[in-house]
């Protein structure tokens, strides 16, 4: 991801919703070296921010609804969550939660795109989003997996104004000439029960070592480490509770 700070329209934060907070804290702090701090306020519901050094890089949260899956979620920065929520519905998406205030830190909403992938809107107040990108243990890329790529292109370019850089093999999303994510078409190799979703990729120093550590900690390697050309290497992993995420060695300059 070439963006190095939260930018309107771009990914600004990622959260894990999990049914075992303590296990998640252990797994990800061991894997990425995070320092986890749980908000002590009762009304925060156990919301925990992961830090890399002094920078906030991600969050871990309990499941707030019975229907909520164990999964990573991606938030996109917006100027006005209410206005963007209206654009989401106007473009064929669905607003599931909010928009609503989160203390004095911002305003957010949870939505589904027309293909069924969930994502979040974040209107920053005192908290802009992640304080570090592309460094080991921080967000390095976001990827949409969908069975309806053309519908997804129409939706996201309308709502966020993203550019589309498409080749024969891969589609990339961008803002002002800086690509920050991509899109994969879900074909028959994906089990039918796997829904469309956004997948965060975390930058790491060594993809193969991280994949091995995931297995040792009780997780699963879903896509073995592979090189994309000569300049980047990726893997897709699953934590012990079932949440999928990617890791990425950001050597593409």
Beta bridge pairs of residue 14: 74
Cα–Cα distance for residue pair 38/59, rounded to 1 Å: 9
Determine contact, residues 216/239, Cβ cutoff 8 Å. no
Q: Give me the helices (H) in 106-206, please.
A: 149-160
Give the full edge-to-edge strand order of the sheet including 163-166: 163-166, 171-175, 178-185, 139-146, 197-203, 244-250, 232-238, 220-228
Write the class of the CATH domain 11-124: alpha beta
Cα–Cα distance for residue pair 100/53, rounded to 1 Å: 30
| Residue 1 confidence (pLDDT) | 59
Q: Does domain 139-250 have CATH number 3.10.180.10?
A: yes
Q: How many residues does the chain have?
A: 253
Q: What is the dihedral of CA 236, 238, 242, 243, to 10 degrees?
A: -60
Domain edges within the chain: 11-124, 139-250
Copy the structure tokens of residue 175: 């803002």
| Residue 253 confidence (pLDDT) | 45
| Residue 232 confidence (pLDDT) | 84
| Residue 168 confidence (pLDDT) | 76
Pairing of β 48-52 and β 35-38: antiparallel
Cα–Cα distance for residue pair 67/154, rounded to 1 Å: 28
| Residue 44 confidence (pLDDT) | 81
| Residue 40 confidence (pLDDT) | 87
Determine contact, residues 119/198, Cβ cutoff 8 Å. yes
Enter the pTM of the model. Answer: 0.95
Q: Is there a shared CATH topology between the 11-124 domain and the 139-250 domain?
A: yes
| Residue 95 confidence (pLDDT) | 98
For the chain of 253 residues, list the mean pLDDT of each consecutive stretch of 10. Answer: 85 97 96 94 88 97 88 98 98 96 95 97 97 95 96 97 89 92 94 95 96 97 89 93 92 52
Copy the structure tokens of residue 57: 């890089």
Q: Which of 226, 177, 182 is nearest to 200 (CA)?
A: 182
Q: Which of 100, 131, 105, 172 is nearest to 14 (CA)?
A: 131
């Amino acid at each position: 991801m070439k963006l190095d700070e939260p930018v309107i329209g771009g990914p600004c934060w990622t959260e894990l919703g999990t049914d075992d907070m303590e296990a998640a804290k252990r797994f990800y702090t061991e894997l990425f070296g995070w320092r986890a701090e749980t908000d002590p306020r009762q009304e925060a519901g156990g919301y925990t921010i992961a830090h890399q050094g002094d920078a906030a890089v991600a969050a871990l949260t309990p499941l707030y609804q019975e229907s909520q899956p164990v999964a990573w979620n991606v938030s996109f920065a917006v100027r006005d969550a209410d206005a963007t929520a209206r654009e989401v519905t106007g473009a064929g998406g669905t607003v599931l939660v909010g928009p609503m205030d989160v203390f004095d830190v911002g305003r957010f909403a949870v939505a589904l795109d027309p293909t069924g992938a969930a994502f979040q809107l974040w209107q920053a107040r005192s908290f802009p989003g992640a304080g570090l990108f592309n460094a080991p243990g921080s967000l390095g890329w976001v990827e949409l997996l969908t069975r309806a790529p053309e519908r997804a292109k129409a939706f996201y370019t309308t709502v966020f104004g993203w550019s589309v850089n498409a080749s024969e093999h891969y589609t990339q999303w961008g803002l002002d000439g800086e690509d920050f994510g991509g899109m994969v078409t879900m074909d028959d190799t994906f089990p039918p029960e796997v829904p469309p979703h956004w997948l965060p990729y975390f930058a790491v120093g060594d993809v193969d070592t991280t994949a091995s550590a995931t297995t040792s900690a009780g997780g699963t390697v879903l896509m073995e480490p592979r090189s994309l050309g000569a300049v980047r290497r990726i893997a897709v992993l699953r934590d012990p509770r079932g949440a999928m995420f990617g890791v990425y060695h950001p050597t593409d300059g």
